[in-house]
Every structure is written in structure tokens, then in C-alpha cells.
């Protein structure tokens, strides 16, 4: 992960394939905002507007997809994108979708990462519903009142009929947070759906229970790296097979030659 930050790469064909599946699922629930962002402010606005439309879909149809959420942990800004929320037994259930090859279930170590991811989403969304992370927290953290949209984008919004009350970053994010905080209470049951990378069909589903102490522990450990209290850790013995598929192995990554068994990596 650290080396990817230092030396970013282009998306792989697996990433592109997964993104296409997510886009098709998203478009099946609601129509995207037909306005092309020009600036960072435009992009934020489109994100918030589509979030609001997705949340309306949850209230009206019992399902929403590709919901961008925001939060914080120990002063760090955290954001993520929930693949799906659906109403089950009068509760909002979070669904994470992953692609697999040839309908094969992921190994236990990869599955654990998926569980951490979906639990983190549950924590972030729970903080919003419990009032622990509000629109004011977001506004102060991101400074959206100082961010401007381009005149071109604003004109497009007016042309396609976006209501005046929705215009402006502050307005749309306030409305979005209000809608998010009013959703039905969250389920502690979390669903991970594995889909075939080739045809997008469902391969298998895994239900897990939300464990607050577990995710808090994982976050505390991660913060040690971001706070500069520890260096990046090499992969575990069970996961060293990943190094065979890593572009940094035997190149920029030198962990394997520093006493860690061949196959280790950052």
C-alpha cells in the first residue's frame, strides 16, 4: 500500500471490470446527474447530489447503491463508498460487492480484509445516524464554504432543472446529511456478495455480524502507521503468496531480502 502511494499505477483490467459492474448496478437504481464536472467543487457537488438521489431511492424503493460516506477517526478524515444499502426487516443493511474469478470464493485472508472494509462502513454510517458525525463536522473538516463550483457547471445545473434549494455545495451537502441521518436504523448483519468478474452474476454471499470492538482495534492499529509510530508491516506468512503478483517484488520492495522469507512485501 505504501509503495502504491509513492509510485501509483494505472488501474488493472480487473479493477476496470469491477467498476463496470458497479456502474451497471448503480444505474439500475437511479439516474446519474447529467452534468460533467470541471473543477474539484463540481465533482463534490455531483457526488453529493447523486448521494441524495441514492438515499431517496432507499426511502422510496428500499434500496440504494454507490453511497459515498464521510467520517473521522482520531482526527483523520475517512471516506468510503458503500456498494449497496437495502431495507431488510425494517433495518438498513449494508452490502459490499466483490468480484471473483470463476466463481471461486476468496481465501480466508482476503475475506478478512473484506470484513474489515464493510465493518468500517458500518461504523462510519452509524456515526452519522447517531449524530457523532454531522454536517457541521463535515463542513468544518472539508471547508466546503470556501470551495466554488465553476460557472459552466452551475449553468448546466440550472439548464437541466436542478431546484434552487439544491444549488451550492453547502446546501446540497446539508440536504444529503439530513437525508442520510433519517434512514431506518442500521442492521448489525452485514452482507458480502461475491460476483463473477466475467459476467457479473452472483457467485456466493457471506453474512457476518458487526463487531465494534474488532473494527476499533483494527483502526487503532492502522493509526499507528499514519501517526508515524510504526513503519509499514510486511505481509503475514500466510499472505506472502501475494508477492508473486506484486509489481514491487524484487524491485522497489526490499523486505524479502531483509530477513523476511521470500514472498514478503510491504
CB 243 within 8 A of CB 235: yes
- Residue 1 in domain: no
Judgement on whether residues 40 and 161 belong to the same structural domain of the protein: yes
Mean pLDDT of the chain: 86
- Residue 178 in domain: yes
Whole-angstrom distance, CA of residue 178 vs CA of residue 67: 14
Per-residue burial over 238-247, b if 16 or more Cβ lie within 10 Å, else e, is ebbebbeebe
Q: Count the domains in the chain.
A: 2
- Residue 3 in domain: no
Whole-angstrom distance, CA of residue 141 vs CA of residue 75: 9
- Tens digits of residue pLDDT in 188-220: 999 999 988 877 787 889 999 999 999 999 999
- Residue 205 in domain: yes
Query: Residue 26: its pLDDT value, please?
Result: 54
- Residue 202 in domain: yes
- Tens digits of residue pLDDT in 141-154: 999 999 999 999 99
Judgement on whether residues 221 and 253 belong to the same structural domain of the protein: no
Residue 77 has pLDDT above 80, yes or no: yes
- Residue 159 in domain: yes
Judgement on whether residues 240 and 218 belong to the same structural domain of the protein: no
Write down the pTM of the prediction: 0.83
- Tens digits of residue pLDDT in 24-34: 665 666 567 88
CB 25 within 8 A of CB 65: yes
Q: Nearest Cα to 37, choosing from 139, 154, 143, 145?
A: 154
Judgement on whether residues 108 and 164 belong to the same structural domain of the protein: yes
Judgement on whether residues 171 and 239 belong to the same structural domain of the protein: no
Judgement on whether residues 239 and 215 belong to the same structural domain of the protein: no
- Tens digits of residue pLDDT in 113-136: 999 999 999 999 999 999 999 999
Judgement on whether residues 258 and 157 belong to the same structural domain of the protein: no
Judgement on whether residues 58 and 152 belong to the same structural domain of the protein: yes
Rounded alpha-carbon distances, angstroms, from residue 220 to 4, 178, 226, 247: 22, 29, 10, 29
Judgement on whether residues 45 and 128 belong to the same structural domain of the protein: yes
Judgement on whether residues 207 and 255 belong to the same structural domain of the protein: no
Range of the domain at 238: 234-266
Judgement on whether residues 192 and 244 belong to the same structural domain of the protein: no
H or E element in which residue 80 lies: strand 76-88
Task: Give me the percent of the chain exceeding a pLDDT of 70.
Answer: 88
Amino acid at each position: 500500500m505504501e509503495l502504491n502511494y509513492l509510485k501509483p499505477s494505472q488501474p488493472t483490467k480487473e479493477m476496470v471490470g469491477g467498476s463496470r459492474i458497479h456502474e451497471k448496478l448503480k444505474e439500475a437504481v437511479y439516474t446519474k446527474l447529467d452534468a460533467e464536472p470541471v473543477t474539484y467543487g463540481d465533482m463534490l457537488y455531483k457526488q453529493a447530489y447523486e448521494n441524495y438521489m441514492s438515499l431517496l431511492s432507499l426511502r422510496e424503493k428500499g434500496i440504494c447503491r454507490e453511497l459515498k460516506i464521510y467520517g473521522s477517526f482520531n482526527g483523520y478524515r475517512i471516506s468510503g463508498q458503500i456498494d449497496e444499502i437495502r431495507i431488510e426487516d425494517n433495518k438498513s443493511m449494508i452490502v459490499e460487492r466483490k468480484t471473483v474469478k470463476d466463481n471461486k470464493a476468496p481465501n480466508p485472508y482476503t475475506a478478512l480484509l473484506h470484513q474489515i472494509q464493510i465493518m468500517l462502513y458500518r461504523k462510519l454510517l452509524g456515526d452519522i445516524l447517531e449524530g457523532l458525525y454531522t454536517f457541521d463536522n463535515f463542513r468544518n473538516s472539508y471547508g466546503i464554504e470556501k470551495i466554488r463550483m465553476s460557472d459552466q457547471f452551475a449553468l448546466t445545473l440550472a439548464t437541466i432543472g436542478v431546484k434552487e434549494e439544491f444549488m451550492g455545495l453547502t446546501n446540497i451537502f446539508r440536504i444529503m446529511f439530513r437525508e442520510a441521518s433519517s434512514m431506518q436504523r442500521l442492521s448489525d448483519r452485514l452482507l458480502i456478495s461475491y460476483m463473477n468478474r466475467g459476467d457479473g452474476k452472483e457467485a456466493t454471499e457471506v453474512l457476518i455480524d458487526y463487531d465494534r470492538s474488532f473494527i476499533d482495534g483494527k483502526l487503532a492499529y492502522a493509526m499507528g502507521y499514519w501517526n508515524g509510530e510504526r513503519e509499514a508491516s510486511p505481509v503475514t506468512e500466510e499472505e506472502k503468496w501475494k508477492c508473486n503478483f506484486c509489481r514491487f517484488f524484487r524491485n522497489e520492495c526490499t523486505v524479502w531480502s531483509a530477513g523476511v522469507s521470500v514472498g514478503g512485501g510491504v
